[in-house]
């Protein structure tokens, strides 16, 4: 059994906080850890007042977006399995496929220059700073090599690897 590290514990609390903030308290209190505290749903002042909430599907999608790239990727994969999900949730999770805002092209250029340890102008004849596509983990830029070949460059989002490692480490908690 792997011992939970302080950073992992804080991340688990953050995940639960995001779920509760999006009105998914029932999911949080259904987990083994929080089941004894289920009565807190009724003590939460937010639940005392009737308030207009977004649909369950929108709340699930927004929670995954707030939790970051691994959770977005999980939602994208789930959206392809309509046999496992209600239609409203599957439809909403499909929005995770193409609704990720890009990061600036100048940042992508800096990442490429750092990876190759030389300026983009020395690597490519042309580099398109506007991305062709943007996703939760990377975005894609068109470029032309010095030999004339047209290529597509996939650039990881800045600082995404530590985030991915942090969330993947949660899978190893026994």
Per-residue model confidence as pLDDT tens digits over 85-106: 999 999 999 998 876 789 999 9
The predicted-structure confidence for 135-169, as pLDDT tens digits, reads as follows 889 999 999 999 999 999 999 999 899 999 999 99
Does residue 168 sit within a domain?
A: yes
- Virtual torsion, Cα 51, 54, 56, 57, nearest 10 deg: 180
Does residue 30 sit within a domain?
A: yes
> Could you give the angle at which helices 69-79 and 87-94 cross, rounded to 10 degrees?
130
How many independent structural domains does the chain possess? 2
Cβ distance 134 to 102 under 8 Å?
A: yes
pTM of the predicted structure, to 2 decimals: 0.75
Domain span at 77: 6-99+163-172
Does residue 124 sit within a domain?
A: yes
The 3-class SS string of 12-60 reads: HHHHHHHHHHCCCHHHHCCCCCCHHHCCHHHHCHHHHCCCCCCCHHHHH
Same domain, 66 and 144: no
Same domain, 60 and 138: no
Does residue 1 sit within a domain?
A: no
Mean pLDDT of the chain: 87
Does residue 151 sit within a domain?
A: yes
Cβ distance 20 to 34 under 8 Å?
A: no
Same domain, 112 and 86: no
């Amino acid at each position: 059994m792997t011992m939970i590290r302080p950073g992992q514990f804080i991340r688990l609390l953050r995940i639960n906080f995001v779920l509760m903030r999006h009105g998914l308290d029932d999911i949080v209190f259904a987990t083994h850890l929080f089941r004894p505290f289920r009565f807190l749903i009724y003590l939460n002042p937010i639940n005392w007042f009737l308030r207009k909430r977004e649909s369950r599907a929108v709340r699930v999608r927004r929670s995954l977006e707030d939790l970051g790239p691994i959770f977005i990727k999980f939602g994208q994969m789930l959206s392809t399995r309509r046999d496992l999900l209600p239609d409203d949730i599957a439809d909403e999770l499909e929005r995770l496929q193409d609704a990720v805002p890009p990061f600036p092209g100048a940042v992508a250029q800096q990442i490429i220059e750092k990876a190759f340890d030389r300026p983009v102008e020395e690597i490519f004849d042309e580099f398109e700073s506007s991305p062709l596509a943007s996703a939760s983990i990377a975005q894609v830029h068109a470029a032309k090599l010095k030999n004339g070949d047209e290529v597509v460059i996939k650039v990881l989002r800045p600082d995404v690897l530590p985030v991915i490692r942090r969330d993947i480490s949660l899978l190893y908690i026994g």
